[in-house]
Amino acid sequence: MSKSIEQLITVLKEECNLYKDYLDLAREKKTAVIKGEIKELDHITKREQNMIVNMGKVDQIRTAIIGNILLEKNIASVETISELADLIEEPARATILKLKDNLAALLEETKNLNHINSELLQQALEYVDYNINLLTSAQPQSSTYGNKADEKDLKARANIFDAKI
């Protein structure tokens, strides 16, 4: 097995570990959203941003390693890891395909959890917006008297908030 193939296996394992950690973070995020823990949600979002940066770096490394393997095999390009695995001999091929499948499953689970988190956040924002609208539309009905006691002289109380969020 060539050094480039060993490096590919190592980087695919690292990607799987990163996505497992990201999935755990997405679960924490879901819990924080459900419980309404804003500070915890902020903390999770910062950790999430750091993880995304690391994922990008590992992805660049994987791309470079695949480029090296293609050069070694004298192949112009491949579209998928599966195509690349077809060019690699056993037992490395089986390991690479297993890691690819693990990564695909992690990505699918992450996608589903992110969708749920997105819906939960949207519901929370709609609830906040609804409450703001209730607060800003509540205007007391009061009478003021002047010389003519005209209703057109009544001034409505200003809203609590000047702008909608």
Say which residue the tokens 């004298």 belong to. Answer: 74
Whether the pLDDT of residue 157 is over 50: the answer is no
Tell me the pLDDT tens digit for each residue of 27-60: 999 999 888 888 998 999 999 999 999 999 999 9
Instruction: Sort residue 91 into left (φ over 0), alpha (ψ -120 to 50) or beta.
Output: alpha
User: Do residues 71 and 84 make contact, with C-beta atoms less than 8 angstroms apart?
Assistant: no
Model-level pTM?
0.71
User: pLDDT tens digits for 10-28?
Assistant: 999 999 999 999 999 999 9
Give the CATH H-level superfamily of domain 3-138: FlgN-like (1.20.58.300)
Q: Where are the domains of the chain?
A: 3-138
* Cα gap 42→115, rounded to integer Å: 18
